[in-house]
């Protein structure tokens, strides 16, 4: 025994009978260590989602206990417990407003979409209360269905109706904020309605059509969280999304044909901001907006 456990101390001189009792005890423990086949079977029956892998001995040998794999069930339990850790789940929204974070306790965890943006007031509350934002990686790609808010003045009305058909062809859903005829109206009213829907998370993106596209872009950009771009070519449309993460597209009915509208809208919807350098610059745009919003609140 000294070769395995080290030398014995002077007062450790076990007798032969002591060794025999120890050996007998070890044999008894080993004999009773494996549960009976029936007992393991009952345990498996109580866990219908578990996967049992029976181990059998050679013919005439002892019957061995079956091994039960409960890892899948355990993983589901851990996922469910992690889900409960969020104070609130707003991951279905593209814009987080003050209403989404108001009432959360200090240090709370809020689950949001990976690309979700915060309005200036929401950002202030998150910062003051040290709310932790847990961003969810989206499961859908850029070609998945989007809710697109659309609007136009009287000059852009006919093109808006064609736009709604195009969105349906591309697998997107349109929310029409008007106008609904060629009767004269004011473009800021409809640009504001579309921009607000995007800002408040009621729509993923927005498209507005007026005579030139410039006035609607100016109006939409007054709404917090909105980055509207008046695009006069497919290249500019792609750039506005890839570099600037534009979430509202404005077009001029007096400057494009229906085919040109379709080309620009297709390109705009199919493009996403990808590179970190572009995201960093867009974050600076948002920071400028917050700076003036905070100064007005003082």
Give the mean pLDDT of 68-90: 51
Domain that holds residue 88: 68-139
243 is catalytic: yes
Are both 207 and 93 inside the same structural domain? no
β-pair type (173-176, 228-230): unpaired
Mean per-residue pLDDT over the chain, rounded: 77
Are both 120 and 206 inside the same structural domain? no
Are both 179 and 271 inside the same structural domain? yes
pLDDT of residue 25: 67
Percent of the chain with pLDDT over 90: 43
Binned at pLDDT 50, 70 and 90, residue 92 comes out as low
In a domain, 292, yes or no: no
Residue 95 burial (C-beta neighbours within 10 Å; 0-12, 13-18, 19+) = buried
In a domain, 185, yes or no: yes
pLDDT at 14 over 60: no
CATH of the domain at 210: 3.40.1400.10
In a domain, 55, yes or no: no
In a domain, 84, yes or no: yes
Annotated catalytic residue within 5, 154, 192, 243: 243
Binned at pLDDT 50, 70 and 90, residue 61 comes out as very low
Q: How many domains does the chain have?
A: 2
User: Which pTM was predicted?
Assistant: 0.56
Are both 126 and 178 inside the same structural domain? no
Are both 214 and 162 inside the same structural domain? yes
Residues 184 and 149: their CA atoms lie apart, in Å, by 21
């Amino acid at each position: 025994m000294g070769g395995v456990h080290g030398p014995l101390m002077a007062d450790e001189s076990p007798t032969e009978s002591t060794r025999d009792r120890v050996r007998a005890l070890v044999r008894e423990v080993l004999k009773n260590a494996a549960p009976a086949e029936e007992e393991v079977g009952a345990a498996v029956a109580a866990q219908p989602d578990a996967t049992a892998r029976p181990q059998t001995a050679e013919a005439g040998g002892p019957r061995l206990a079956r091994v039960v794999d409960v890892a899948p069930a355990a993983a589901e339990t851990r996922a469910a417990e992690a889900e409960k850790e969020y104070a609130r789940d707003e991951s279905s929204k593209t814009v987080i407003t003050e209403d989404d974070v108001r009432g959360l306790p200090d240090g709370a965890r809020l689950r949001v979409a990976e690309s979700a943006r915060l309005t200036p007031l929401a950002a202030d509350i998150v910062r003051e209360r040290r709310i932790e934002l847990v961003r969810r990686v989206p499961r859908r790609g850029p070609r998945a269905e989007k809710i697109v808010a659309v609007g136009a003045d009287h000059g852009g009305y006919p093109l808006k109706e064609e736009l709604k058909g195009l969105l349906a062809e591309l697998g997107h859903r349109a929310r029409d904020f008007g106008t609904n005829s060629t009767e004269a109206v004011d473009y800021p009213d409809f640009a504001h309605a579309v921009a607000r829907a995007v800002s408040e998370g009621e729509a993923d993106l927005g498209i507005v059509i007026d005579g030139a596209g410039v006035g609607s872009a100016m109006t939409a950009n007054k709404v917090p969280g909105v980055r509207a771009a008046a695009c006069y070519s497919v290249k500019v449309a792609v750039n506005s999304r890839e570099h600037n993460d534009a979430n509202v597209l404005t077009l001029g009915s007096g400057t494009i044909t229906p085919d040109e509208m379709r080309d620009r809208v297709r390109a705009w919807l199919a493009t996403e901001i990808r590179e970190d350098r572009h995201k960093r610059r867009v974050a600076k745009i948002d920071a400028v907006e917050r700076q003036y919003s905070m100064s007005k609140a003082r």
